[in-house]
């Protein structure tokens, strides 16, 4: 069944001019882009988005990074979209990311790792509605 997931092309990849290449990979891998926009999150918006990580030692660094520069937010549709998008992204740490994944190719560190993807269908619904209104989804 075709489902939705939420993705971000993070500030490191936007800064490096890699967003076009990443969007091409998304399209080539059979995802249907249902929503896409360039945004610049405030610190508070980044903290709200990553609230589940509030107690982690890297929370400050992560929310500074995500609010420091623009990123591209995406609503993606595919068969089993959550898993398909995480498979294309690769492991959190680029040193552990498989050949052919976006993080292997574009990430520079475990923190600045090029892309985000929802980890469950429940969280995909929450994350899509955090960033997109109904009118912004096709
Ligand atoms: P994923 O993005 O693969 O779902 P997590 O949900 O565990 O990974 O972490 C969210 C984000 O927090 C990561 O993508 C990365 O940007 C950052 N992060 C995770 N672990 C670390 C770490 N040990 N040091 C710095 N940043 C980290
Ligand atoms: Mg995660």
What is the SS3 assignment for 76? strand
**Residues 26 and 117 sit within 8 Å (Cβ to Cβ):** no
What is the Cα–Cα distance from 91 to 51, expressed in whole angstroms?
21
Which residue ranges have their beta carbon within 6 Å of ligand 1? 53, 58, 61-62, 92, 110-111, 113, 116, 119
CB under 8 Å to 64, separation ≥6 — which residues? 43
Res. 1 pLDDT band, cuts 50 70 90:
confident
The enclosing H or E element of 34 equals strand 32-39
User: What confidence tens digit (pLDDT) does each residue in 38-63 have?
Assistant: 999 999 999 999 999 999 999 999 99
Q: What's the CA-to-centroid distance between 111 and ligand 1, angstroms?
A: 6
Q: Is the pTM of this model over 0.85?
A: yes
Question: Is the CA virtual torsion 70, 109, 51, 64 positive or negative?
Answer: negative
Which ligand does the CA of 115 lie closest to?
1
Q: Is 40 a catalytic residue?
A: no
Average pLDDT for 76-101: 98
Sketch the domain layout of the chain as residue ranges: 2-39+71-136
- The whole-number pLDDT of residue 19 equals 98
Pick the catalytic residue from 25, 86, 103, 116.
116
User: Residue 58 carries which DSSP code?
Assistant: T
Any idea which fold 2-39+71-136 has?
Answer: Alpha-Beta Plaits (3.30.70)
């Amino acid at each position: 069944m075709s489902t939705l997931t939420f993705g971000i092309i993070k500030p490191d990849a936007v800064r490096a001019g890699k967003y076009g290449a990443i969007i091409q990979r998304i399209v080539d891998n059979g995802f249907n882009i249902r929503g896409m926009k360039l945004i610049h999150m405030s610190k508070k918006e980044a903290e709200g988005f990553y609230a589940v990580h509030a107690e982690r030692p890297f929370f400050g660094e992560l929310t500074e990074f995500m609010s420091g520069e623009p990123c591209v937010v995406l609503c993606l549709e595919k068969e089993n979209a959550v898993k398909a998008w995480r498979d294309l992204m690769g492991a959190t740490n680029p040193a552990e990311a498989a050949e052919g994944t976006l993080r292997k190719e574009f990430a520079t560190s475990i923190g600045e790792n090029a892309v985000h993807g929802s980890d469950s269908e429940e969280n995909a619904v929450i994350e899509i509605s955090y960033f997109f209104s109904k009118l912004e989804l096709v």
